[in-house]
Amino acid sequence: YPTNLSTNQKGNLTVGVVNYEHLDSNYLLKITENNKTLKNENITLKNNEKIEIPFNFSENSSGQYKIQFDLYKLPDTKNVYRSLFILVNVN
Q: What is the pLDDT of residues 49-90, one digit of tens each?
A: 999 999 999 999 999 999 999 999 999 999 999 999 999 999
Helix (H, G, I), strand (E, B) or coil at 14: strand
User: In whole numbers, what is the pLDDT of the chain averaged over residues?
Assistant: 95
Global confidence as pTM: 0.91
Check whether 35 has a pLDDT greater than 90.
Answer: no
Check whether 1 has a pLDDT greater than 90.
Answer: no
- Over range 29-50, report the average pLDDT: 96
